[in-house]
């Protein structure tokens, strides 16, 4: 029995090493949105930049992958992966059960809260604050959401389509808000917020902070509580095709190493001014 267990463990270890070795030196095309600062964006010279570009380069180096990063509109990013137009997604994409029906995900490489971006002059800027987890304490989180609904009656909420933020808004504020308006990018709903065409946007705090620090955000603020987990996702990770176990193993090992040696902490502090290292 002991010999059989030893042989089984040895076979598993050998298969794991073989999978990692098979992925080395592989040419890998990685898609990112290029319109979701500071996670990923296109700079004034037309070059992709941001946290995920820096992290992606580091992960590919560790995994000995020959990576090329390409821009892809968010609304087609999953179908294009399954159609094999590229091999991986690094685009601020949260793990959700719905996405897991189509994709495989690595372990998370970052996480953070979501909430409401609004104007400083709006009554929504004075909403009560708090930090709620829809996974660990759903009852308390939903009680906090219920306490917001009177303030959102008749308001227009902006969301980027096909995101965890749009799912959150649809689940909790449909029929409460006058309208939940979908946009192709977060940049578009930020512009409409500044122009007074919407009252607030549901967005990750990291993206909201980047907007506030940008040229059009000086009159904006984050209002109300922070929410995370549950319908908002289980952390941001690399999205892959389900049949690409070798590439998943290579990225998972690289993420583990980058967490362990503080690389992810360093990069999140650089781009977000806060440590977004996933917590076990």
The domain covering 114-232 belongs, at the CATH homologous superfamily level, to: Periplasmic binding protein-like II (3.40.190.10)
Token pair belonging to 254: 């690289």
Instruction: Provide the phi-psi class of 34: left if phi over 0, else alpha when psi is between -120 and 50, else beta.
Output: left
Is pLDDT at 236 greater than 50 in this prediction? yes
Rg for the chain, CA atoms, rounded:
20
| Predicted local distance difference test score (pLDDT) of residue 17 | 47
Per residue in 151-160, pLDDT (tens digit) is 999 999 999 9
Fold agreement (2-111+235-272, 114-232): yes
- The token pair at 13 is 């270890």
Fold held by 2-111+235-272: D-Maltodextrin-Binding Protein; domain 2 (3.40.190)
What average pLDDT does the segment 73-95 reach? Answer: 97
Domain map (residue ranges) of the chain: 2-111+235-272, 114-232
Q: Tell me which residue of 262, 267, 253 sits closest to 63, measured CA to CA.
A: 253
Chain centroid to CA 102: 17
Gap between the Cα atoms of 170 and 179, Å rounded: 10
Residue 238 has pLDDT above 70, yes or no: yes
Per-residue pLDDT of 13-51, as tens digits, reads: 444 444 445 567 799 999 999 999 999 999 999 999 999
Per-residue pLDDT of 188-203, as tens digits, reads 999 999 999 999 999 9
Which pLDDT score is estimated for 73? 96
| Mean pLDDT, residues 221-230 | 97
């Amino acid at each position: 029995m002991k010999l059989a267990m030893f042989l089984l463990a040895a076979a598993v270890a050998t298969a794991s090493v073989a999978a990692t070795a098979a992925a080395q030196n592989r040419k890998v095309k990685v898609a990112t949105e290029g319109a979701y600062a500071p996670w990923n964006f296109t700079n004034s010279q037309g070059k992709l930049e941001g946290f995920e570009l820096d992290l992606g380069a580091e992960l590919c180096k560790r995994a000995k992958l020959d990576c090329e990063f390409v821009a892809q509109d968010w609304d087609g990013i999953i179908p294009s992966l399954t159609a094999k137009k590229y091999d991986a997604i690094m685009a601020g994409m949260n793990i959700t059960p719905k996405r897991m029906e189509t994709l495989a995900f690595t372990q998370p490489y970052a996480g953070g809260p979501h909430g409401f971006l609004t104007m400083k002059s709006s009554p929504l800027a004075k909403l009560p604050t708090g930090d709620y987890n829809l996974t660990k304490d759903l009852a308390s989180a939903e009680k906090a959401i219920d306490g917001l609904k009177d303030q959102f009656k008749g308001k227009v909420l902006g969301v980027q389509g096909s995101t965890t933020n749009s799912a959150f808004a649809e689940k909790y504020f449909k029929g409460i808000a006058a309208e939940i308006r979908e946009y192709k990018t977060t940049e578009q709903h930020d512009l409409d917020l500044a122009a007074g065409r919407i009252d607030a946007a549901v967005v990750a705090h990291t993206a909201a902070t980047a907007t506030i620090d940008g040229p059009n955000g000086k009159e904006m603020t984050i209002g109300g509580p922070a929410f995370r987990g549950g319908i908002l996702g289980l952390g941001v990770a690399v999205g892959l095709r389900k049949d690409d176990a070798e590439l998943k193993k290579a990225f998972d090992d690289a993420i583990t190493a980058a967490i362990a040696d503080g690389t992810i902490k360093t990069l999140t502090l650089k781009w977000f001014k806060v440590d977004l290292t996933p917590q076990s």
